[in-house]
Amino acid sequence: MAIAQEPPTTVPQAGNVAGVSQEEWATQFAAQSGPATRLGPFESVHVFWLAGMSCDGCSIAVVGATMPSVESLLTGSLPGVPIVFLHHTALQVEAGEAFMEPMRKAVRGELGAPYVVVYEGSIADETKAAALGGYWSAIGEEDNPEHPGEMRQVPSAVWMKRLAPGAAAVVAIGTCATWGGIPAAYGNPTAAMSVQDYLGRDYRSTLGVPVVNVPGCSPVGDNFTETVAAVLLFLQGIGPLPEFDDLGRPAWLFGETVHRNCTRAGYYEEGTFAEHYGDKECLVEIGCWGPVVNCNITSRGAINHIGGCMNVGGPCIGCTMPGFPDRFAPFYKAPPGTFVSGTASKLVGSFVRPLRRVTQRYANRETRWDTTGVVSSGWGAPKTPTFVDKLIHIAYDRMRHGGTTAKNF
């Protein structure tokens, strides 16, 4: 039987890549993907990415995300997730008024689609800068009502105040936006603060959600894109509200300490510690705060599951934590608690390590080698178990086989 086929949809060619607008781009993808990929009420969502006291490291981290990638969000290729219109000063094709107009429409409630505000960097006290006739960080300009006929720059903090009430969600990305970070460190000449300090504890988005915090300096890009995708699925009515902890962090990403999933945790447990950078052992004695820091970089890696501080030899300096940097400085000095936990690990390790070596010598041998007395490896001779090793293993094997019918070997 012939299968009826839909006539192919003719999708008009959008302008050349350099000239295509954000809207043309999204319209193309929407036409090509078809309604089946979008299971909720919204075909698209706008994301306004504002930058304050920022180094742009968060943007760099996010464009490197792979699970999901920014491209998959922009093209609507994640089932159920609406196509994202990303308004980012560095990444958006449009500039000038074409860039500003969607923000103005959002403030006026004329956007015609929900929007999310993402803030990168901390929010400085713009009144300090304004008193000197300047600004700390701004996006676009507008008529200055105090000096008719003149224009004035609009601080990104002002955009946040304007956009936040109508946002489906406000997401603070990076430690500067989540907790104040380096701009808010001791001294803090700009009176910089976090997004949640700026908006206040009573802030709720139109979805009823307080500020969502994805910390890190820079954060793991995947942590951000995954959180945004989860929030968008909630917006579509497809997924549940993701679980956030008391500090607004995605609970499934920041519930564990770095230490628990660290590739060097076995060294810590055996009480062996690096003395120099480049050593392979646990880094706690050269300044690692991993045992108390909430972060998943050791299990997730930095980009595409590769890299990540301790995985590549860098001690954790607590960059995801609200107390960073002041409560972790001076960096690269052993945290005081190390004296207690490290000494305990050394004591336990000095007992456990030799026992493990005994078992290792035993387990690294074929049974046949003991029977024939010949080790067939041409690479060298594995260590022969000592008399004490054999005695230990007679006892060990009795315990191992106790209560079973298995024969001792």
C-alpha 137 chain-centroid distance: 24
Minimum Å gap between C-beta 340 and ligand SF4 is: 13
| Maximum separation of any 2 CA atoms in the chain, in Å | 100
Residue 262 lies near ligand SF4 (rule: CB under 6 A): yes
Strand partners for 201: none
- Contacts with ligand SF4 by CB under 6 A: the residue count is 14
Could you say which residues in the range 299-358 bind ligand SF4, by CB under 6 A? 310, 316
84 binds ligand SF4 (CB under 6 A): no
| Residue 129 CA to its chain's centroid (Å) | 32
The secondary structure element, H or E, covering residue 50 is strand 44-51
Q: Determine the residue with CB nearest ligand SF4.
A: 290
Beta-bridged to residue 51, according to DSSP, are 120
DSSP 8-state code for residue 241: P
Q: Based on the shown chain and the rule CB under 6 A, indicate whether residue 259 belongs to the binding site for ligand SF4.
A: yes
Distances (CA, A) of 220 to 172, 173, 241, 257, 290: 13, 10, 21, 15, 16
What's the min distance (Å) between Cβ of 293 and ligand SF4?
8
* 286 binds ligand SF4, rule: CB under 6 A: no
Q: Which is nearer to ligand SF4, 199 or 265 (CB)?
A: 265
**What is the total residue count of the chain?**
409
- 230 is a site residue for ligand SF4 (CB under 6 A): no
What is the closest distance, in whole angstroms, from the C-beta atom of residue 58 to ligand SF4 in the complex?
23
- The runs of H, that is alpha helices, within 255-386 are 265-269, 297-300, 338-363, 367-372
- Choose the stretch contacting ligand SF4; rule: CB under 6 A; options: 130-138, 144-152, 158-166, 285-293: 285-293
Q: Rounded to the nearest whole angstrom, what is the least distance from the CB of residue 226 to ligand SF4 in the complex?
A: 22
Structure tokens at 28: 């193309």
Min dist CB 299 to ligand SF4, Å, is 11
Q: What is the dihedral of CA 37, 28, 107, 82, to 10 degrees?
A: 10
- What proportions of the chain, in percent to the nearest 5, are helix, strand and coil? 40, 10, 50
Q: Whole-number minimum distance, CB 311 to ligand SF4, in Å? A: 9
- Segment contacting ligand SF4 (CB under 6 A): 8-16, 48-56, 169-177, 261-269? 261-269
Q: By CB under 6 A, is residue 284 in contact with ligand SF4?
A: yes
Strands 138-143 and 151-155: antiparallel
The residue (of 346 and 383) whose beta carbon lies closer to ligand SF4 is 346
> Considering the rule CB under 6 A, would residue 291 count as an interface residue with ligand SF4?
yes
CB of 114 to ligand SF4, least distance (A): 39
Which positions touch ligand SF4 (CB under 6 A)? Answer: 258-259, 262, 264-265, 268, 282-284, 288, 290-291, 310, 316
